[in-house]
Structure 1
Amino acid sequence: SNEVIYQYQSDGNFEQALKLSLAIDRNVSDPGKYFIYRKNGDNWEQLVTQVYDRDAKLEAVIYTRDLGSFKLAYDASFSGTNLVPNDYALKQNYPNPFNPSTTIQYDLANDGHVRILIYNILGQRIRELINENQLAGSNKRTIWDGRDQSGKSVASGVYIYQITSREYFASKRMLLIK
């Protein structure tokens, strides 16, 4: 086989995750289906992988505290994409109008802290859906169940959903009909 195994070892432990980046050949047909795998006993474990196509480089990236043997491989059965978008996006919720719940989808161009908040038409904060660090990626999603922060169902009406990160801010309207 012509597969390349990358071996990384250390005598110590790491307090923070390390970034491991492996180059992908520019001539591959579908770079979004590449994953980094870690040797685990006799098996290869597929890791959460991000694929970046930026600055004339095509690379697969993982974050890990565990070193060992790694390889880059194509997964033809993977139906999604690991390609990280070059731009941020907040997409229209669906369904819209909705009852009782709706999906909010977004793209993150870079890793970082993300907040998604729901406001009523008066600008009062109703619910915090996300407040955490997230990896960059496409088609990320969260669901709002039409409830406020205390778990009570909210009234029919127009609501605003808002995404905030260090590099991006956007909001859109949605309609809850009971």
Structure 2
Amino acid sequence: MKQLCGIDEAGRGPVAGPLVMAGVILKDSIDELNDSKKLTEKKREKLYDLIIENSIYHIVSFEAETIDNLGISACLISGLKEIMQTIPDAEYIFDGNTTFGISGLRCQVKADVDVPEVSAASILAKVTRDRYMVELSKKYPQYGFEKHKGYGTKAHIDAIAKNGLSPVHRKSFKIKSLEQPTLF
């Protein structure tokens, strides 16, 4: 019987920073796993270390420039394929509603809540991405990445309006409140 490899991502929707994906096969069960968004930052950090110690895992990251050049779907497909190649001979389940046509992969809505391996992948992806955004905040303090992690909050949009886009912003993601009206 093949082991189950759960796959999830963090950072599909932000206007800055990377898309991070993780695949996880748990070697031992871990209590209190859940969708990373339903856990406190402190709990995610604690679980992150437990997952690393008790799993076979692979983490993939796509920078903003790659997302702009390839598109978010192509990055997701590439990440799924890389995880499946790096963690071979498993049964793969991806959180969401599409397999992007990848054979040998099944998807399940809310798998990050219902499937421990996907919950673990969700936590690895989110903690990895959040830590990276905190590091980026040191290089680009004017944007407040440590607070909003690159999502389009009012404070972040205001910072973009004041400072322009940084090299870690996704230029292909349109921010409606910053678009200039077209005059005819």
- TM-score, normalising length: structure 1: 0.27
Q: Which has the larger radius of gyration?
A: 1
- Higher percent of residues as strand: 1
- Higher percent of residues as helix: 2
- TM-score, normalising length: structure 2: 0.26
